[in-house]
Structure 1
Amino acid sequence: MPRALVGGLLLAATLCVTPAAPTAGAAPQASFDCARAGTPTEKAICGDAGLATLDLALSQAYQARLRREPDLRQQQRGWLRARDAGCGADRPCMKAFIRARLDWMRGAAPMPGRLPTVVGQCSLTRESVRTNRFEGEPDSGSAAVFANGARQVSYDRVPGIEASRAGDPAVVCLASLPEDCPPGDERGKVYASADLRTLMAWALPDAEHLCGGA
């Protein structure tokens, strides 16, 4: 066989087995198929390489811990719903939530029950009171109080709160803090909560007004 032809065949074979280079602009690899991203949170994750990397790392840590703690599945479902309710498409918020969850997932301690004080941190607690914004007036809005001290209130009737029951296990996360508050006035913290019985989630402030308001 002519030497030139042999060289051409070898080059062709080499090209056939050389891995293709990553396509420029390809979607970051997350824990789910970004081609099917539907929610604002999923789309934000798929549009941010750093978020996608964190999301994938959290999924891997979750799978490892789930093998040791099979009951973790429902808690994680609730956490995901609380994250989505609290952050939406807010990328800094999501990074705070995922980093805090990843740190916890890689450890061995049970999920804390105390009231979270840092944005992104969550606790496992129970709903102690489901009521209305004004007691006895259903049209005044919804309110919830949790065993860890978290409170949430809304002028509207919130389906997740209305469907919950006192004693339901819940994931409660700190989603945002008010800024430039007068000394001693910290109203306006927003908590994202998920009822682990119904898997319904919502995000609401702890007061009807921000700090410094009426």
Structure 2
Amino acid sequence: MRFSVRTCFSAVPAIVLAGSVLGAAPARADGPSFDCGKAGLPAEKAICADPQLSAIDLLISKAFKGFEPEFGDKRKIARGLIADRNACGSDAACIVSAQNNALLTYGNGPSWVQDYNIALIGKKALEAAARNPKGIDQPLPSAIGQCASTHIETLTARLGDDPLETASPDAGSAATFTNGGTAVSYDREAGLVSSKVGEPVVMCLMSIPRDCPKGDERGRIYYSLNLVAKGTWALPDSQHLCGGA
């Protein structure tokens, strides 16, 4: 998968915007890459109805033309990414995560796409929390756009050898959650540093690598919102992405 983090893992936080949910990105007039008059699927209709989603779809089409996968077949990877998008139905937050995932697979998405992704998935995390006011643990999300409630189980340095609050600033950061989820960063992630063990969190799956060796599923990225400290982060579940060390 072509995340820039394959060569520089600390680049992952570039898609993280700490603090409150952002406003929507400015409207775009470009795209989509297909004829909206022939749109039949809910996801296609949602893309046609949203200028941002339409513009992102056109960017994906252009990026695909120059895509040379490290692993697997180019068209099979594309079919998987389109299936991720179509599985979202008309859920815009899910669609933009699937679209951003496609751009990251094919190369790298512009910052406004990543901002729009964070804005919509952040709003969805708040909505998910409202539907589960008691914060009952839910299974780790398995599909792009899904959100689940959980609690922080551990907060440590990246390698898990020291508590995060006493770890050196260059030791990175990591967390585990009571639903089996994990988050890892080579940086001292502000959202994790402000958190405490036991606090309730909503995790939303933003990215599933498609350009990976068979059987290597590392590198799923989750957006998380701490419902007490209000910190946020978007981090992978492993120190190395699929195909890495």
TM-score norm. by structure 1 comes to 0.54
The partner residue of 2:149 within 124, 127, 130 is 124
- Please give the residue correspondences for 1:28-39 in structure 2 after superposition, counting only pairs within 5 Å: none
Query: Shift of the alpha carbon at 1:50?
Result: 3.9
Distance 2:213 2:180 in 1: 22
Query: Residues 114 and 96 of structure 1: is their aligned pair in 2 closer, same or farther, counting only changes over 3 Å?
Result: farther
The number of residues matched between the two structures is 145
- Please give the residue correspondences for 1:100-119 in structure 2 after superposition, counting only pairs within 5 Å: 113-119=138-144
Q: Aligned to 1:213, what secondary structure does the other structure show?
A: coil
Q: Is the 8 A contact 1:41 1:89 kept in 2?
A: no
Q: Indicate whether 1:47 and 2:70 are aligned.
A: no
The partner residue of 2:175 within 144, 151, 154 is 144
The partner residue of 1:90 within 104, 110, 113 is 113
Q: Indicate whether 1:160 and 2:210 are aligned.
A: no
Distance 2:49 2:171 in 1: 42
Runs of 4+ in 1 over 6 A off after TM superposition: 98-105, 107-112
1:93-144 alpha-carbon deviations (Å, 9 max, x no partner): 4698499779979x99998711111111110110111111121253310001
Unaligned runs of 5+ in 2: 1-19, 29-47, 54-92, 101-110
Query: Residues 172 and 51 of structure 1: is their aligned pair in 2 closer, same or farther, counting only changes over 3 Å?
Result: farther
Distance 2:132 2:188 in 1: 38
Q: What is the identity percentage for the equivalent residue pairs of Structure 1 and Structure 2?
A: 38
Q: Aligned to 2:23, what secondary structure does the other structure show?
A: helix
Q: Indicate whether 1:204 and 2:235 are aligned.
A: yes
Give RMSD over aligned pairs: 4.2
- Higher RCO structure (Cα 8 Å, ≥6 apart): 2
Distance 1:150 1:41 in 2: 25
Distance 1:95 1:186 in 2: 26
Distance 1:208 1:191 in 2: 14
Q: Is the 8 A contact 2:150 2:201 kept in 1?
A: yes
